[in-house]
Amino acid sequence: GQQLNQSPQSMFIQEGEDVSMNCTSSSIFNTWLWYKQDPGEGPVLLIALYKAGELTSNGRLTAQFGITRKDSFLNISASIPSDVGIYFCAGVPSNDYKLSFGAGTTVTVRA
């Protein structure tokens, strides 16, 4: 599959903080998706993006489809304890129809 570089690999959050993560690729993508996975469960689709420049919100989550079509970011505003988990970006490249996943960003609450 296509190589997606997701960063950061992990982050610690404090309740109330805004956090941001991103995903980049050397190829052009037609679709970007963001999923969250809690321990012992499957990934849950958070936001889907289908057009370059598109900015979409889902509650405190906001994601954007980069205008170069090679990147996407996800912001979480005013984080709360239940935001902990692993966030995955995923994308469909323009020359394929199969979904590739990033390695994930693990979000943990700072003690």
Partner 1 sequence: DSGVTQTPKHLITATGQRVTLRCSPRSGDLSVYWYQQSLDQGLQFLIQYYNGEERAKGNILERFSAQQFPDLHSELNLSSLELGDSALYFCASSRDTLSEQPQHFGDGTRLSIL
Binding region for partner 1 (CB under 8 A): 1, 31, 33, 35, 40-45, 48, 88, 90, 92, 97-104
Give whichever of 101 and 109 is closer to partner 1, judged by the CB atom.
101
Q: Cβ of residue 67: shortest distance to partner 1, in angstroms?
A: 21
Q: Cβ of residue 85: shortest distance to partner 1, in angstroms?
A: 13
Q: Cβ of residue 31: shortest distance to partner 1, in angstroms?
A: 7
Q: Cβ of residue 68: shortest distance to partner 1, in angstroms?
A: 21
User: Alpha-carbon torsion 18, 52, 1, 27, what sign?
Assistant: negative
Convert 83-98 to b/e letters by CB count within 10 Å (16 or more is b): bbbbbbbbbbbeeeee
3 state SS of 28: coil
The whole-angstrom separation of Cα 71 and Cα 15 is 27
Give whichever of 36 and 79 is closer to partner 1, judged by the CB atom.
36
Give whichever of 13 and 33 is closer to partner 1, judged by the CB atom.
33
